[in-house]
Each structure stands twice: as C-alpha cells, then as structure tokens.
Structure 1
C-alpha cells in the first residue's frame, strides 16, 4: 500500500474546493493551528478492521473511534460500528484475525452510511491512529467513492511519535513499535487486539502517555505541532 501521509502537510484547501456535503462541512470546521497546546486540542482516535491492507482491493468491515479532549479519553463519545461489505464480497481469511464473519456483517450498515458520522466527529478535531497511513488511505478511498474527493485531515500517528521517542542518535529503534509493544513501553495495560474500538481506545491512551513523556523531555507544554510529522529539510 502506498502511504500518502506527506499529503497531509500540504496547504489545506478551503470549503469551496469540496462538493456540498460532509467534506465541505469538515473543511469549514478545521482543527486548531499547530501552535495550540495539546490540552486544548480535540482528537478522534480511529481504528479500522478490514479484509486486507490495500484500499484499492480490500474493504472496511468495522470502525471504532473515541474523542480525546482536555487530556482525557471521553468514553461517552465512543462508537463501535460494523460495516457490511459490498455485494459479492466476503470477509475471507481476514475473519481469523478480527473475528468478523459474513453472517455477523450481513445486517450491518453500508460504509457510505457510516462516513457522515465519522466525518462529523472530526469537525474541529485531529485524526489520531497508530500507523495512521492505514486509516488515512481507507477513509480517503471511501470518500473518493462517495463524494469524489479525499477529506481534509490533520493527522497524528502514535507509531511515528513512538519512533521519535524511542530512536537513538542514529534514528534506530530497538524492539517493536506495534501498538501493544508501545503501550507496554509506557506501562499501560495490555488489551486484546484486532477489535476496532478497543484498538482506538488503546491508541488514545497511548497518546496521553506519549504527550506526558514529551512534555517532560521538552520542559514545556506540548503543542500540536510537536506531534505532527516533521517536514523534510
């Protein structure tokens, strides 16, 4: 899969660039600027379960998301949504990973019906995910089909942030950067993997631990720009 995270650092397009509907509404409600303290930034931690890793051929089967604001995970905002794959598509061998079967998804909502809920939750907020390229690619592919364009997103990737925190002077990291391993490095409890909402909650808690460590290292309040991908020189 071809990651497009560098796209997220380009100039943000205004609402008029997007067709009327959820994408235009999202563009009209951007997240705060990079100079905003993280404590004042709202995040939406997102995780997807899919039939595979290529959005050109694979499909979303479940989405889980939860809001992080004011240094807290807002459990009342949590959503766990199953998605019915397109007609003629079955979950195949991916069911052995996430446990979602064709029968369990037969009565679920179509992805096109779920997208407005997710995009609405992102109004004024930053998308948060572990290895965020997966979520960015699948959501982008879905909005291209539904609305003809990719969503305007600001993204924080807890995997990339963990790499920065753990890398030595040569940029090398010893050990795994997977979500469970990153959580253990911060003393967080172990959760079962491959459930969309549980993984979203796990990423949300990881971010709070990462911000606490980064604040100690910087000796100042962490700003949103401290969490964003660094521009290449």
Structure 2
C-alpha cells in the first residue's frame, strides 16, 4: 500500500487551507517533489539541528545547518549555519558538546527568523537527515508554537536506510552501528567535526550519496523508495 505517499500531498493541501499568512503558508503552497522523480534528480535539503536535549516540547534549538543536494552533488555554495537565540540558560554540557557559547546564543537569530529561513529553504524540497525524527519533531513543534499548525514534512532518513539494509541482509543490528560517524567509517568517508550542525548536515549528505553508490541500482530508483513513512 502506497496510500501514505498520496497522503503527503493531501495533508499539504489540507494544512494549506488552515495555515495563517506567512512563512508556513508559503512553504505549504509549494507542491512537494513528485514521488516518481528519479532520486538523483530530486532536490534535497540535508539538515541538522543541534538542540539542548531530545524532547521537542521542553528542549530548544541551539543551531541549524543545511545544504542542498541534487544530481549526486552536494552544493557547498548553498551551505548555511545559524546559531539560534534563546533566553534560556545553556547547560555546561551543551557548551562543551556543541561548542556554542552563552554569548553566541544570546546574539543568535531569533526562533521566528530561523524557522522562517528553514521553511523557505525547504520549499519544494525533501528533508534529508540522520535520525530525521529529531529535525521533524523540533521543526513541527516550533511551527505549532509560532503558527498553531505542525506541517507535514517529506523526509529521507539515512539512519533508517542503513537499518533497512541490515534487515534485508538479516544481519543483527547494534545501535552504535547506526550512528552517523560509524556509518561514514563503514563507507570509507573521512572523519569530520561532530556536533556542529552544518558539518553534520554535510556529513549526512555525503553518507546518502555513499548509500546510493553502494545500492547497485541499474538506474536511479524513484524518490518514493527512499521516503520516510509517517
């Protein structure tokens, strides 16, 4: 059953009728990429959030990084990194792990500005993320808080693709094997600076290209084969 694929567009149009004027409505007004588009032609936005925790309702965004991907190429000229303003105190663990200082957060872009920029970048694209539930969850929660509506977000999850590959081979799955760093190592990709939103976004984009290259496809599969099911 592929009804969930049709539901993405149905939900987009349904939410468009409810969305207030502004960034969310503009995002929803743009149709999603056709599910039958060859994956190498689909326009993707690799994105990563650095957050104060994993609870989208109670934790907050610290920074976002994103870069576009199309035609088997990471477009580094589109790469962007932004620290997000917060009035809440950061824990020392957040400072140590993410290398973001209190002063940087105090001077960062406001959440409404950051969400507007993200929605603008996502228009007509598919989100690409590693453990995409984090990016989807935090973006939807931010939209609920700002606009009263959580958008539907078509996404590809590199962690889920790795899990499915192991399941097809009936191989045991160890949680640490699915981490971005370890999957990159498996594909012979270079080390990178973890816990930086932009570096993680680029690292995810490169991992996805490696996953495609090792898929042994006769021709590029359609986008629908990779979309994360809701």
Contact in 2 for aligned 1:47/1:197 (Cα 8 Å): yes
Query: What SS does structure 2 have at the residue aligned with 1:162?
Result: helix
Contact 2:65 2:81 in 1 (8 A): yes
TM-superposed deviation, 1:28: 1.5
8 Å contact from structure 1 (residues 132, 156) kept in 2: yes
Counterpart contact for 1:193–1:199, Cα < 8 Å? yes
Corresponding position of 2:133? 133
Which residue of structure 1 lines up, in the alignment, with residue 111 of structure 2? 111
Secondary structure of the structure 1 residue equivalent to 2:113:
helix
Report how many aligned residue pairs link the two structures: 222
- CA–CA distance in structure 2, aligned partners of residues 106 and 183 of structure 1: 34
Give matches, 1:181-220, under 5 Å: 181-214=182-215, 216=216, 218-220=217-219
Whether the aligned pair in 1 keeps the contact of 2:154 and 2:228 (CA below 8 Å) is no
Structure having the larger proportion of residues in helix: 2
Deviation at 1:29, TM superposition (A): 1.1
Is 1:32 the counterpart of 2:30? The answer is no
CA contact (8 A) 1:66 1:200 kept: yes
Aligned position for 2:23: 22
TM-score of the aligned structures, taking structure 2 as reference length: 0.89
For structure 1, the residue ranges without an aligned partner over 5 or more in a row are 1-5
Aligned position for 1:124: 124
RMSD over aligned CA atoms reads: 2.1
Q: Which runs of 5+ in 2 are unaligned?
A: none
| CA distance 1:38–1:24, change in 2 (3 Å) | same
**Cα distance between partner residues in 1 of 2:130 and 2:106:** 28
Match runs of 1:3-82 below 5 Å: 11-14=10-13, 15-82=16-83
C-alpha distance 149-7 of structure 1, shift in aligned 2 (>3 A): farther
**Cα distance per residue 1:24-71 (max 9 Å; x no partner):** 111111222211101110111111111111111111010000000111
| SS of residue in 1 equivalent to 2:177 | coil
Cα distance between partner residues in 1 of 2:200 and 2:185: 14
Once the two structures are TM-superposed, the CA of residue 17 in structure 1 deviates from its matched residue by 2.9
Is the CA contact (8 Å cut-off) linking 1:126 and 1:155 kept in structure 2? yes
* Alignment-derived partner of residue 3 in structure 1: none
Relative to structure 1, the CA distance from residue 207 to residue 8 in structure 2 (aligned partners, 3 Å threshold; closer, same or farther) is farther
Normalising by structure 1, what TM-score?
A: 0.88
8-17 or 129-138: bigger deviation? 8-17
Structure 2 contact 33–124 (Cα < 8 Å) conserved: yes
Correspondence 1:221 to 2:191 = no
